[in-house]
A and B are shown apart, each in its own frame.
Chain A
Amino acid sequence: MNVFNAAVSGLFDLLLAPFRSLSPWIALAVVSLLTGFLMLSIYRRASNQDGIRRVKNRIKAHLLELRLFKNDLGVSLRAQGSILAANLKYIGYAFKPLLVMIVPVLLILIQLNDWFGSRPLRAGEQALVKVRLAEGYSPIETDLRLEASAGLVVETPPLRIEEDREVDWRIRAESPGVRELILRWADQSAAKKVVVEDGRLARVSTAKVRTNIWREISHPGEKSLPSDSPVTTFEVRYPERRLGLFGIGVHWLVAYFVLSIILGFAFKGVFKVTL
């Protein structure tokens, strides 16, 4: 899984590299455009285009029937029933391509969440570091130590919460750049990247997780922890990123879906796709 994550993450890093110094809206628009193209081509190949065209024509015909025979209750009711049936058929036709698209879309969303979900820490800003332990490990008995590279400061002693099998620290970012936290226990250690804002868009991996297929897929930014590690999650609580639009903070997911839909519809003719 680490190799797969590294490959997909590398692809996104490469794709977004030219846009890092620009507004995040531009980077998101580019990804939305490319995603729109990908989705349109998947939709064209995976869907029954003739069937969709037929059912859409049928819906149009029944809508016309409704207008023409609006004084005839029997015909109107029949037409409405037919529109409902055609709609269900249309949904059926759309279901297959959607099923095919769900995997790439999910992978794209996970990657985008790393880029747009959280913002890097600012110099001087504080953040919580949370370490969760596997069942059977006590945070009080497990001697966990946190060390910080230059540019970061660990500000508090460990706060050990037995009830949640959790150990928390507070860190403070001192200077821009990609910094590192080292977590040590017994004779083992794990390193975690901490991104401190340098004015450019950056991948922000919030957590490093223990090997587990789903958790690894959802945290692709860093190499996972070994499966026998007592630590299951090594997390930095970054601030949430909002994309500024006329003074309003927009969640990236909303922005992405709106942009993807607009761009998808704009280019459906180019791809000769009937939606």
Chain B
Amino acid sequence: MTKIKGHPLERREFLKLGLGAASLLALGSPEPVTMLRGQNETARKVLILGMDGVDPHLLKVWMDEGKLPTFRRLAAQGGFSPLRTSNPPQSPVAWANFIAGTNPGGHGIFDFIHRDPSQQSDPSKFIVFSASATEEAKRTLKIGKYVFPLSGGEVRNLRKGKAFWQLLEERGIPATIFKIPANYPPVESSQRTLVGMGTPDLLGTYGQFNYYTTVPAEINEDIGGGWVHQVYVIGNRVDAKLPGPANSFLKDQPDTAVDLRIDIDPIHPVARISFQGQEFILREKEWSDWKKVRFSFLPTQSVGGICLFYLKQVHPEFKLYVTPVNIDPSDPALPLSTPESYARELAAKFGPFFTKGLPADTSALDNDVLDEDEFLAMDNRILRESLDMFDYELGRFDAGLLFFYVSSTDQRQHMFWRFLDPASPTHDPALVPRYGAVIESIYREMDALLGRAMEKAGRDAVVIAMSDHGFNPFRRAFNLNSWLKENGYHVLKSERRLSEESLFMNTDWSRSRAYGVGLNGLYINQRGRESGGIVPPGPGKDALVREIARKLEETVDPKTGERAILHAFVGRDIYSGPYLEAAPDIVLGFNRGYRISWGSPMGRFSREVFEDNLEKWSGDHMGAPEIMPGILLANRPIRGESPALFDLTASLLALFGVEKPKELVGKPVF
């Protein structure tokens, strides 16, 4: 295969380039000189380490204490500045700001979760993921119980605007983009890109683990992010099923499953797991390697995935954890990379690897399925896999852009913040000696990673370390929908069923003027927009928005006496761009220590507006953007007082001499 600047060149592009160059020469055009100049520009190397959630305050403290010498060296070579995050400071929104170089009005991602106002009457369709949408085959042929698709289904990336690597590609500048969030499915490009946050598991969810236990007390059907199965040991043998994706070839779309047989030794803490012709032995407290599993739809149709097994306990009770079934990168059932062969190339070189968006199973830790050590073992594996691939990419990085993303910084801060925060409701001083340094240690790992990057990238390379947002404690949860109900903006059909139903199934839309969906969004139930809308658009609605925003900012937590919401931003005031229509009417910027409650984003109500956050998920970043900046360090001086994520996009294009398209709102900072 023809290679240019370290990248394989598609035949189509080769012909295009060849024909273009030939015709230009024939016409005696000066353009080839321009192209040459373009090539010289691509000789510049820019390496960006995207460390999700690295907090400038923590970073500065540990830099000052001399614990992060490489960060300190980088800051001394160029600069260190807080990086203004998105509003709201959620990862998909923030990374989309960086990718598209705009605010959310320009790329259309306003939250992890959006709503489809035209589907208000259908709870199953009203609340949707913001970043991607899956559509089943439009035309099918039904024969008896079988359904045969006559057209292909589709997975769409809902982020709008051109990604910066597409802009670089137009100028022939190669880029490798490793696991950047908000890029699933990957946008069309011949650059090397591997999907990251937002990528589903094989079941199409954000990750469903399976946990098999003989302890009835552990059976809880209400666990988000996983299934707990009660199993029985009969004759030293456990029979179980590993659930797979729904079988869309059958009329009622029953779930597929694979039979698991587990044999345990009567005395020794060891078990043999067998399925689909595979057998392996695990000792208690041991993880398996990646195992391939296939779910069959029809004799000729099946789909493959990969998962890890963890034998938590053998005696006296049996406990087995299985990770969500990830899409197999060696044979991807859904798109994982551009070009398509890139994921397979990595799988061939490194073996199977985590492909699910945020791979660390925080749900399993939150629900005590995994303990802290077990979670860290998993996250270490995730980090190790990624770092091996980083070294590989760094080894062949000779021109253009290399962007590398790390999720462990974010995930560990979410789960271990309670050990840094004595005011956290889940703070356990007894565990502080054991886990109090977990966050610091991941910052140190990032320091080592940065060191390797700086050493290998070369003296002329621009090296940038960045994060999308910082971190805050999450002590108190605020149920926005309950607050709206208490203040008369939202009406339920039945007060008795208040906390029983989610997805607004108990809402009386004909009398509700506002509702909250997602982690920071509040919407007015607007006539003509929401299918059951009652508030007419115009000055009346605007006044209602201002009134709710004012009341929210005045809301005080009765337990602490603190304001829960630092700013209630009016969507139209803070966003600009072609996708403003989808923006929330109000965006909540929480105060330090506060976040939306667990139920409110999905339309669930609680008796109390404020509750203690009793989850291990104890750090978060849903606060007002001004208290949640990310980091920006570079070996080039940083200009400007408070650079923003979209400024970094403009800066990146400027470094390569690419003219900034008019849709991009940022300004170069280097």
Interface residues of A (CB under 8 A from B): 126, 128, 140, 155-164, 168-170, 237
- The docked-state distance in angstroms from the alpha carbon of A157 to that of B272 is 12
Complex Cα distance, B362 from A169, in Å, reads 33
Interface size for chain B: under 10, 10 to 19, 20 to 34, or 35 or more residues? 10 to 19
CA distance A172 to B378 in the complex (A): 22
**B259 close to chain A: CB less than 8 A:** no
Residues of B close to A155: CB separation below 8 A: 283
Q: Please, what's the 1-or-0 string for B235-253, where 1 marks a CB less than 8 Å from any CB in chain A?
A: 1110000000000000000
Asked if B283 and A156 make an inter-chain contact with CB atoms under 8 angstroms apart, the answer reads yes
Within the complex, the shortest CB–CB distance from B612 to chain A, in Å, comes to: 44
Chain A residues with Cβ under 8 A from B271's Cβ? 159
Provide the bound-state CA to CA distance between A160 and B281, in Å: 12
Interface residues of B in 259-293 (CB under 8 A from A): 263-266, 268-272, 279-281, 283, 289
Note all chain A residues with C-beta closer than 8 A to B283: 155-157
The closest CB in chain A to the CB of B289 belongs to: A126
Q: Would you give 9 A-B contacts (Cβ < 8 Å), ordered by A?
A: A126-B280, A156-B270, A157-B269, A158-B268, A159-B265, A161-B272, A163-B236, A170-B280, A237-B279
- Having A162-B236, A170-B281, one finds 15 other A-B pairs with CB under 8 Å, namely A126-B289, A128-B281, A155-B283, A156-B268, A156-B281, A158-B265, A158-B270, A159-B264, A159-B281, A160-B268, A161-B272, A163-B263, A168-B272, A168-B281, A170-B280
Residues in A neighbouring B272, C-beta threshold 8 A: 128, 159, 161, 168
B interface vs A, CB < 8 Å?
A: 235-237, 263-266, 268-272, 279-281, 283, 289
A163 partner residues in chain B, CB cutoff 8 A: 235-237, 263
Complex contact B235–A157 (CB within 8 A): no
CB-CB under 8 A from A159, the residues of chain B are 263-265, 268, 270-272, 281
Enumerate chain A residues within 8 angstroms of B235, measured Cβ to Cβ.
Answer: 162-163
B237 and A160 contacting across the interface, CB-CB below 8 Å? no
Are A157 and B236 in contact, with the CB atoms below 8 A? no
Q: How far is the CA of A237 from the CA of B279 in the complex (A)?
A: 9
- A140-B279 contact given A159-B271, A159-B272, A161-B236, CB 8 Å threshold: no
Max count, chain B CB within 10 A of own CB: residue among A155, A159, A168: A159
A140 surroundings in chain B (CB, below 8 A): 266
Q: How far is the CA of A157 from the CA of B281 in the complex (A)?
A: 10
Q: Name the residue of chain A whose CB is nearest to the CB of B265.
A: A159
Nearest to B279 among chain A residues (CB) is A128
> Smallest distance from the beta carbon of B349 to chain A beta carbons, Å?
14
- 10 interchain residue pairs of minimum CB distance: A157-B268, A170-B281, A159-B265, A161-B263, A159-B270, A156-B270, A156-B281, A159-B272, A160-B265, A156-B283
The residue on A at minimum CB distance from B271 is A159
| Minimum CB–CB distance for A41 against chain B, Å | 40
Residue of A nearest to B348 (CB): A247
CA distance A162 to B234 in the complex (A): 12
Complex Cα distance, B261 from A164, in Å, reads 13
CB A134 to nearest CB in B, in angstroms, measures 20
A157, B271: Cα distance in complex, Å:
10
> In the assembly, what is the distance between CA of A162 and CA of B281, in Å?
16
Q: A161-B236, A161-B272 are in contact. Are A169 and B266 (CB under 8 A)?
A: no
Please report the C-alpha to C-alpha distance between residue A145 and residue B451 in the assembled complex, in whole angstroms: 49
B86 to chain A, nearest CB (A): 43
Looking across the interface, which residue of chain A has its beta carbon closest to that of B263?
A161
Q: Min CB distance, A92 to chain B, in Å?
A: 37
CB distance from B340 to the nearest CB of A (A): 14
In the bound complex, residues from chain A placing their C-beta under 8 Å from that of B268 are 156-160
Residues in A whose Cβ lies below 8 Å from that of B279: 128, 168, 237
Q: Which residues of B contact A157 (CB under 8 A)?
A: 265, 268-270, 283
Tell me the complex Cα distance, A163–B236, Å: 9
CB of A160, distance to nearest CB on chain B (Å): 5
Docked Cα-Cα span, A225 to B279, in Å, equals 25
Question: Least Cβ distance of B652 to chain A in Å?
Answer: 36
Cα(A170)–Cα(B280), bound, Å: 8
Q: Give complex CA distance A159, B263 in Å.
A: 8
Chain B residues with CB under 8 Å of A168's CB are: 272, 279, 281
In the complex, what residues of A have CB within 8 A of residue B289's CB? 126
CB distance from A132 to the nearest CB of B (A): 14
In the docked arrangement, what's the CA distance between A169 and B281, Å? Answer: 7
CB-CB nearest in chain B for A170: B281
Contact between chains at B280 and A128 (CB < 8 Å): yes
**A211 to B281 Cα, complex, angstroms:** 29
Which residues from chain A contact B265 at a C-beta distance below 8 Å? 157-160
Give the CA-CA distance A126 to B270 in the complex, in Å. 15
Chain B nearest Cβ from A23, distance in angstroms: 19
Once bound together, how far apart are the Cα atoms of A254 and B421, in whole Å?
A: 64
CB-defined contacts of B237 to chain A, threshold 8 Å: 163
- Give Cα A126 to B287, complex, Å: 13
Q: How far is the CB of B280 from chain A (nearest CB, A)?
A: 7
In the assembled complex, which residues on chain B have CB atoms less than 8 Å from the CB atom of A237? 279
Give bound CA distance, A140 to B268, whole Å: 11
Q: How far is the CA of A237 from the CA of B281 in the complex (A)?
A: 12
Query: Chain B residues near A161 (CB, 8 Å)?
Result: 236, 263, 272
Q: Which residues of A contact B264 (CB under 8 A)?
A: 159
Q: How far is the CB of B205 from chain A (nearest CB, A)?
A: 31
- Distance, CA A237 to CA B277, complexed state (A): 12
Q: How far is the CB of A79 from chain B (nearest CB, A)?
A: 39
CA–CA, A170 and B237, complex, Å: 19
Q: Which residue of A lies closest to B344 (CB)?
A: A247
> Which residues does chain B contribute within 8 Å of A170, judged by CB atoms?
280-281
CB distance from B260 to the nearest CB of A (A): 15
Q: Is A160 a contact partner of B266 (Cβ separation < 8 A)?
A: yes
Bound CA–CA A128/B235 (angstroms): 22
- Give the CA-CA distance A164 to B237 in the complex, in Å: 11
- Rounded to whole angstroms, the CA-CA distance of A57 and B476 in the bound complex is 94
How many angstroms between the C-alpha atoms of A263 and B279 in the bound complex?
39
- In the bound complex, residues from chain A placing their C-beta under 8 Å from that of B263 are 159, 161, 163-164
Residues in B with CB closer than 8 Å to A158 are 265, 268, 270
Shortest distance between the CB of B182 and any CB in chain A (Å): 32
Q: Which residue of A lies closest to B288 (CB)?
A: A126
Residues of chain A lying within 8 A (CB to CB) of residue B266: 140, 160, 162
* Chain A residues with CB below 8 A from B236, complex form: 161-163
Residues of chain B lying within 8 A (CB to CB) of residue A128 = 272, 279-281
Question: In the complex, what distance in Å separates the CA atom of A164 from the CA atom of B274?
Answer: 13
- Across the interface, name the chain B residue whose C-beta is closest to A247: B348
Q: How far is the CB of B8 from chain A (nearest CB, A)?
A: 15
Nearest CB on B from A172, distance (A) = 11
Q: How far is the CA of A88 from the CA of B159 in the complex (A)?
A: 68
In whole angstroms, how far apart are the Cα atoms of A140 and B266 in the complex? 9
Give the docked Cα–Cα distance between A154 and B372 (Å).
29
Give the shortest distance, in Å, between A153 (CB) and chain B (any CB).
13
Closest approach, in angstroms, between the C-beta of A90 and any C-beta of chain B? 35
A117 to B510, CA, bound (A): 70
Nearest-Cβ distance from residue A29 to partner chain B, whole angstroms: 26
Complex Cα–Cα for A169 and B283 (A): 10
Q: How far is the CA of A128 from the CA of B277 in the complex (A)?
A: 13
CA distance A237 to B283 in the complex (A): 18
